[in-house]
Amino acid sequence: MADNLLKECPLLVALDKEKTVYDGFISVQDRDFRLRITLPPDHQLKQAKLHCCWELKRLLKNHQHILKQRLHHSSSLVGFILELRTVLEIALKSQAGWQSIPPPQYYSQLITEIESLGWDKLIFIDTDFRTLKLKADDSSHRQHVVIVKLKSKYPVEAPECSADLPVPLVITWTPQIATLNLRLLTLTAQSEARPNTISYQSATMIYELPSLNCNFCLTAEQAPQEREPPSNLAHMHSQFLLIVEALAEFWAVMDEIDEHTWVLEPEKPSRADTMRRIAIGNNVSIKVEIDPRHPKMLPECCLLGAEHAVTPLRGKLNANMHLWNPDCSVLQNMKDVMEIEFPSPATHEKSSFSVECGICYSYRLDSAIPDQVCNDPRCGQPFHQACLYEWLRGLPTSRQSFNIVFGECPYCSKQVRLGSQVSWAGLPAADPVQTSWCDIFIIRQSRWACRIIIRPYRGLSVAVLRCCVVHEGLL
């Protein structure tokens, strides 16, 4: 048995003369795992004990019942070792991460690059040394975090980078490869002229490379040329810092809005959010979509609220649009164009604008807040769009014309209507109010849009231009 064990597992040796304790390593798929097997005096495997390193224990965690069966049914230690190796191969194949463990050079180079970048920039690294979080402070002392996911072939293979940005994060990466484009063609003898070099000819020049301890010929398709220096963590971090600096003006605009107005949506804005819903008054608000690349330009605006309150503001917005000054802040421009003052956190409580839905009696329904309002000035009760739709759909007196549902307000019994559910991007929202004979599409170009209604006429689909090309605020 000793000869067979030495053949199958040469790194596992007996520690005593009785050969009841074996210690060493078991090799599976070019990997070595520490192992100790303790046998009883009668060498029966049923009473054997198996001690593993933490890696092996982690791999065999879900296969313990199989190992117990193998110990009970194996006739010899060699047979059990073969069974154990089979189980390990299956376990390794089921875990893709174990099949691509980086070489030691990967870790040493990673540590070197982190030291070059600065340990103060590293705020997180996982136990596998695959996921890193690096911080970068812009000129306004805002802290930004980039998540770097390294691959097993790093730095030859570019890492995956992600960050909380309003624009796509694009990082250029130059792999760390040889400076010559070489191609292995055939196995030949070394150069006879100079045995310590390998010669090849390209065009009119001859290059010589140090010889390797094997017989092959390298042929270059082009001469040595200057290349960009290979990328590393410091190079990637500097690119990320340039990107956040380019977005500093955008974040300054968003910070001013967050600081000096009551933002209804999003509830907890992130650095990637470009939309703000700002409170103007009781049940009146405006949605603005800021362009991160041109934050001082006129944003997309959508007024929300009762018609009697929104109509004057919409008129001022359309009439004074030419007064927009890119040299002023977005907040000041909106004040000048609409001739209003936004409620400030310093002078107003948010509860004044966070009115509950009149149907479900809650402010937030999932992520939505009340955005439909009864148009009667004496009522002005807000509702969630979904709640109002369900309410109107359940009324026997409600009716539908095109994509508009008409019914009675549950509070004042005055007529209310729920128009076509059009999302902020101008596309149909989830679960829209639709009929089998009418669909409404919004076609947008820049800041202008038109509404087209498609309906059947004598068996044909006819497109009717319901509105001429109008400004977005009129839709």
130 in the same domain as 154: yes
Residue 129 belongs to some domain of the structure:
yes
The dihedral sign for the CA sequence 413, 415, 421, 423? negative
Same domain as 285, residue 397: yes
Mean pLDDT score across all residues of the chain: 76
The pLDDT of residue 337: 93
Number of neighbouring beta carbons within 10 Å of residue 424: 12
For residue 473, give every residue at least 6 positions away whose Cβ sits within 8 Å of its Cβ, in sequence order, or none: 301, 302, 303, 314, 317, 318
3-state SS class at 438: strand
Same domain (yes/no): 95, 111: no
Q: Where do we find the tokens 């700002």?
A: 278
Report the C-alpha gap between 195 and 188 in whole angstroms: 13
Whole-angstrom distance, CA of residue 170 vs CA of residue 242: 11
DSSP string, 224-258: ----PPPP-HHHHHHHHHHHHHHTHHHHHHHHHHH
- State how far the Cα of 318 lies from the Cα of 339, in Å rounded to an integer: 12
pLDDT at 443 over 90: no
Question: Domain for residue 426, yes or no?
Answer: no
Q: In whole angstroms, what is the distance from residue 47 CA to residue 28 CA?
A: 25
45, HSE (Cβ side, Cα atoms, 13 Å): 16
Question: 241 with 365, same domain?
Answer: no
- Domain ends where: 54, 74, 99? 99
Q: What is the b/e burial string over 319-335, where b = at least 16 CB atoms within 10 angstroms of the residue's CB? A: eeeeebeeeebbbebbe
* pLDDT tens column, 54-88: 888 888 888 888 888 888 888 888 888 888 888 88
What is the per-residue pLDDT across 329-379, written as a single tens digit (0 to 9) for each? Answer: 999 999 999 999 999 888 777 766 777 888 887 888 877 778 788 877 788
Predicted confidence at residue 224, as pLDDT, reads 46
**pLDDT of res. 289:** 95
Based on the domain organization, do 311 and 397 belong to the same domain? Answer: yes
Domain limits for position 332: 260-401
CA distances from 464 to 438, 439, 441, 450, 471 (A): 11, 11, 11, 11, 18
Q: How far is CA 323 from CA 241, 316, 326, 327, 454, in A?
A: 35, 11, 10, 11, 37
> Over the stretch 181-220, which tens digit does the pLDDT of each residue have?
333 333 333 444 444 444 444 333 333 334 333 333 333 3
Same domain, 64 and 78: yes
Most confidently modeled range among 21-35, 83-97, 196-210, 263-277: 263-277
> Is residue 288 over pLDDT 90?
yes
- Quick one: 370 exposed, middle or buried, by C-beta within 10 A (0-12, 13-18, 19+)? buried
pTM as predicted: 0.57
The residues facing 346 across adjacent strands are none
| Residue-level pLDDT at 471 | 37
Residues 469, 339 share a domain: no
Residue at 343 is within a domain: yes
Whether 196 maps to a domain, the answer reads no
Residue 219 has a CB neighbour count (10 Å cut-off) of: 13
Phi, psi torsion values for 93, nearest 5 degrees: -65, -30
Which pLDDT score is estimated for 409? 86
The confidence score (pLDDT) of residue 103 equals 81
- What six digits make up the tokens of 166? 């309003």
Tally of domains within the chain: 4
Q: What is the pLDDT of residues 118-133, one digit of tens each?
A: 999 999 999 889 999 9
CA-CA distance, 306 to 381, in Å (whole number)?
9
Provide the CATH number for the domain around residue 241: 3.10.110.10
Where among 99, 118, 147 does a domain terminate? Answer: 99
Dist CA 315 CA 308 (whole Å): 12
Q: Does 110 lie in the same domain as 91?
A: no
Distance CA 188, CA 80 (A): 47
Residues 19 and 34: their CA atoms lie apart, in Å, by: 18
Peptide bond into 266 cis (omega under 30): yes
| 87 contacts: CB under 8 Å, gap ≥ 6 | 60, 63, 66, 67, 70
CA distance 434 to 113: 58
Q: Please confirm whether the linkage preceding 155 is cis (ω < 30° from 0).
A: yes
83 and 112 belong to one structural domain: no
Tell the residue number behind the tokens 């769009």, with chain if given: 385
Spatial distance between the Cα atoms of 160 and 141, rounded to a whole number of angstroms: 26
Residue with structure tokens 């006739």?
75
Are 275 and 235 in the same domain?
A: no
Q: Which of 288, 357, 353, 352 is nearest to 324 (CA)?
A: 288
Which range, of 68-82, 168-182, 435-449, averages the lowest pLDDT? 435-449
Q: Residue 96 pLDDT more than 70?
A: no
Last residue of one domain, picked from the residues 378, 401, 424: 401
